[in-house]
Amino acid sequence: MKQSKHVNLLSTIAIFFMILIMLFSMIVFQMRISDTTEGFQSKEPKVLNEYYVMIVDDHSSSFWNSVYQNAQKLGEKSGVYIELMGNEYMQNYSREDCLRIAIESEVDGIFLEADESSEMTELINEAVDKGIPVITAFGDNSASKRQSFVGVSSYNLGLEYGNQVLPLAGAGKTKVMILMTANAKDSGQNIVFSGIQSVVSSSTKASRIQVESLTIDRSTSFAVEESIRDIFMKPENLPDILICLDEISTACCYQATIDYNKVGEVNILGYYDSKTILNAISREVVHSTVSIAPEQTASYLLEAISEYKRFGQVSGYYPVDTKMITSDNVSELMGGEPVEE
Amino acid sequence: MRSSRFLKPSLQKKLVFVFSLTTVIVLIVNIFMYTNINKLITRLDSIYQSHLSLNELEEALDSVQNSMMNYLSTKTTDVMEDYYRSEQTYTNLISLLREDITDDSLMLMERNIKKISENYLDLTNQAIEAKRGRNIVKYKARSDNATELYHYLSTYIYSLSSEQFKNNSMNYSALSSSIRSLEMVSNILLIGVALGNLILIILLTQTITLPLKKLAKTANQVADGNFLVKLVEVKSEDEVGVVTRAFDKMVVNLRDYIQKLTDSMETERKLKERELKMETHLKDAQLKYLLAQINPHFLFNTLNAGAQLAMIEGADRTCQYVQNVAEFFRYNLKENNEVVSIADEVTLVDNYIYILNVRFSGEICFEKNIDSSVTETKIPSMILQPIVENSVNYGIRDVEWEKRITLSVYRANGRIHMSIKDNGVGMPQAQIDRILSNQPREAALSRDNNGIGLNNVIGRVRLFFGKDDIISIISAGKNLGTEVIISVPERPVLKNSSTGGESDV
């Protein structure tokens, strides 16, 4: 009897063991399968109402990426999908190409960092004629039928730079160089230049300050970096104050100053408050920079286009606030983060 | 009770249960796995299905572009047909593209490709129309525009296919890793089920083989002649249990049969022993008689001759005496004289007493009280005379007073009693007990007796009637005489058929 009990116990255990193993593997299997299926496609794509594209000159810049991300977030709330054009397969496409693609793709709206070229004017007009609203941002094409412009006032920006230049100018002759990285068709940077000029010329130091501009052709790759290095490699040409009007040239100048050991000799007035640039300010390699709020830019862009769509017209200009950042207030913007060495 | 649940069903049921359990488990798991894998593959299919073949799309696009360019440069009808064919193909293909605006960048790409393609086809058609209308400026402009769009489209399709490839690679790696882990799971499962199955089979075969081994061991013991083995315990109700039960029954029956056989052999042996004893006693008596009476035929004939001589000479008393002596000796010469009638025995006693009285000048007073209705009753021979001889030799031989012997034969209480009573010296109780307990008497053969001792008589009577209370000896005390009483049933049941048969002769 004892033995038979033993046999029964073992048989029961064996049967339960098999059933347990079976259930266990079924559960694991099920979990595994659902994991895998989920991995195929995270979720059903969300259907949205409108499709806008954002076309910028340098889509790798942190400023534009920040604007794009903010715009995307805001857009999603109102059922709008925004695409930053110029993905990895279209890197070599110019803004005009992208604009053409956008027009042919019949998008519902275009945010464009424009310039004043007539080709762009034509394209913008074509888009507007086809019923696609175009909002320009930071680079305008005033001759076109674009609906609105969102950006800083270049003249005001010039004035801000000018005000930074004056205290830096010493007793001797001061050479100020403005790097015009945009192409000549861009009137915006010219206006900045005039703004600086007007501040300088109206000051007492006007005779000692020599303001000049250097235009860098951006149409070829790496041109900005190389041109800036060229400046540093010829010490006789090296200005006392370098004013950069975009993010890339600011970063390049900062690195060149360190590489050629010109810290303290050259004062850099930069553009945009990327992390690198803020670091540079806190190390006092870059004297100051202009901070532009990407959130504000993004919300203005969406506001402009939705206003146009709703009312058929919109204010032609949305001024974005700027702020000068120097070593005095840089720590506020860095949020107390330790300086990267 | 659980324990009996597994033991009760037949072997067939047990085997079927174990194998079907395993099969069902494996089946369930397989169905489950295949269903899931099927689902997975269906899901995968649905994902891939939505992405139509981009290669096809690209080829169609190329063919539209090339045929348009060919037509613009050659304007042949063939090429135009080519163009329309490829244009149709391409239109069909792009109609498959989705044009929803979603937050999925791949779907947006599809949408853009579709839109651009529609515009592109518009342009190519316009270019073809313009070419047919020989509107050189227009078809040049349209073809330029179309070519521009063609490049964009190529890029778009390329980037879409690259993105899809990226996605599919991700899917592939997810799939392959999940398949690997599924393989592991199914391996674990198979090993687990195999283990469980193995245990079950071991247990099952144990429930079959262990009782069989026990059974075989017990059977071997029985075969070696040990019928007193412990019966095999029957635990299961299966076929083995049935065999075991049958075996147990067989062993029990064998045991009973052997017991019966032993008993009957014992009975037979006892019977044989009794017969042998009877024969031995009789032979003993006869031998002793013969020892005493050498060649009785010769003696008998001699005595008869003496009697005739005495009759011739006129000596009547001598003649009678010699005749009596001859009668006495003749008694034992009779054939088949094992069973005789009481009358025969009484006659022998008469002869004996007559001889003794001649010898001892008639000093023994012999009295007879015979119930003649019972004298034909059969009794063993040589019973009464030895008792009388015993009374003469030990009871009255040396007494001073008148020697008296009384022989009585009578019926009482449904039995026939034969009493030999003397008035001699008597017998102490110890001696009576000793005689009745049939202990051999030392110096059994006294100088003067006929040779057949009392215990021989007692033994034979007891054997003959199969009872111990046949004979009793009574003595009132010293010099108060002795009485020997033989009480036999009126119709003696003869135990021995052979003696019974002879008794009729």
Residues, chain A: 341
Contact status of B47 with chain A (Cβ, < 8 Å): yes
Residue B262: the pLDDT is 92
Q: Which amino acid is at B238?
A: D
Residue B404 has pLDDT above 60, yes or no: yes
B169: burial class by Cβ within 10 Å (0-12, 13-18, 19+)? exposed
Q: Which residue of A has its CA nearest to B160?
A: A89
Residue A319 has pLDDT above 70, yes or no: yes
The mean pLDDT value for A209-228 works out to 82
Residue B496 has pLDDT above 50, yes or no: no
**Taking a contact as any Cβ pair under 8 Å apart, which residues of chain B between 196 and 215 contact chain A?**
196-197, 199-200, 203-204, 206-207, 210
Residue B484: the pLDDT is 92
Record: contact B197-A18, CB cut-off 8 A: yes
Record: contact A104-B2, CB cut-off 8 A: no
Which tokens in the block code for residue B363?
Answer: 């000093």
CA distances from A240 to A173, A208, B96, B317 (A): 9, 12, 62, 203
Q: Which residue of B has its CA nearest to A90?
A: B155
* B328-335 long-range contacts, CB within 8 A, separation 24+: B328/B352, B328/B355, B329/B293, B329/B296, B329/B299, B329/B300, B329/B303, B330/B296, B330/B300, B331/B381, B332/B286, B332/B289, B332/B290, B332/B293, B332/B296, B332/B382, B333/B296, B333/B297, B333/B300
Q: Tell me if A285 sits within 8 A of A301, measured CB to CB.
A: no
CA A194, CA B310: separation in Å to the nearest integer? 209
**pLDDT tens across B141-180, in order?**
999 999 999 998 998 888 888 887 887 777 777 777 777 8
Record: contact A29-B182, CB cut-off 8 A: yes
**Least-confidence region, from A110-124, B178-192, B489-503:** B489-503
Cα B285 to chain centroid distance, Å, stands at 56
Contact status of B438 with chain A (Cβ, < 8 Å): no
Residue B52: the pLDDT is 59
Minimum distance, in Å, between the CA of residue B262 and any CA atom of chain A: 37
Record: contact A39-B203, CB cut-off 8 A: no
Split at pLDDT 50, 70, 90, the class of B454 is confident
Which tokens in the block code for residue B387?
Answer: 């008792």
Which tokens in the block code for residue A28?
Answer: 């694991």
Record: contact A1-B235, CB cut-off 8 A: yes
**pLDDT tens across B48-72, in order?**
655 557 888 889 999 999 999 999 8
Residue B419: the pLDDT is 93
Residue B230 has pLDDT above 70, yes or no: yes
Q: Tell me if B285 sits within 8 A of B454, measured CB to CB.
A: no
Residue A239 has pLDDT above 70, yes or no: yes
**pLDDT tens across A153-174, in order?**
888 889 989 998 988 887 788 8
Please state, rounded to an integer, the average pLDDT across all residues of chain B: 82
Residue B499: the pLDDT is 40
CA B163, CA B151: separation in Å to the nearest integer? 18
Minimum distance, in Å, between the CA of residue B205 and any CA atom of chain A: 11
Angle, alpha carbons B282-B285-B288 (nearest 5°): 145
Residue B500: the pLDDT is 38
CA B193, CA B18: separation in Å to the nearest integer? 12
Of A7, A37, A48, the CB nearest to B40: A37
Q: Tell me if A102 sits within 8 A of A59, measured CB to CB.
A: no
CA distances from B451 to B169, B197, B445 (A): 133, 92, 6
The mean pLDDT value for B473-496 works out to 79
Split at pLDDT 50, 70, 90, the class of A263 is confident
CA A324, CA A290: separation in Å to the nearest integer? 5
Residue B493 has pLDDT above 90, yes or no: no
Give the pTM.
0.58
**pLDDT tens across A113-139, in order?**
888 888 999 999 999 999 999 999 988
Residue B265 has pLDDT above 90, yes or no: yes
Residue A123: the pLDDT is 92
Record: contact B25-A19, CB cut-off 8 A: yes
Q: Tell me if B190 sits within 8 A of A25, measured CB to CB.
A: no
Where does chain A show beta strands of DSSP type E? 50-55, 80-84, 109-112, 134-137, 148-151, 174-180, 209-215, 241-244, 267-269, 286-292, 317-319, 322-326
**pLDDT tens across A71-95, in order?**
999 998 888 999 888 767 777 788 8
Most confident of A71-75, B190-194, B448-452: A71-75
Q: Tell me if B424 sits within 8 A of B482, measured CB to CB.
A: yes
Split at pLDDT 50, 70, 90, the class of B452 is low
Minimum distance, in Å, between the CA of residue A84 and any CA atom of chain B: 11
- Chain A positions in Cβ-Cβ contact with residue B6 (cut-off 8 Å): 4, 7-8, 11
Residue B283 has pLDDT above 50, yes or no: yes
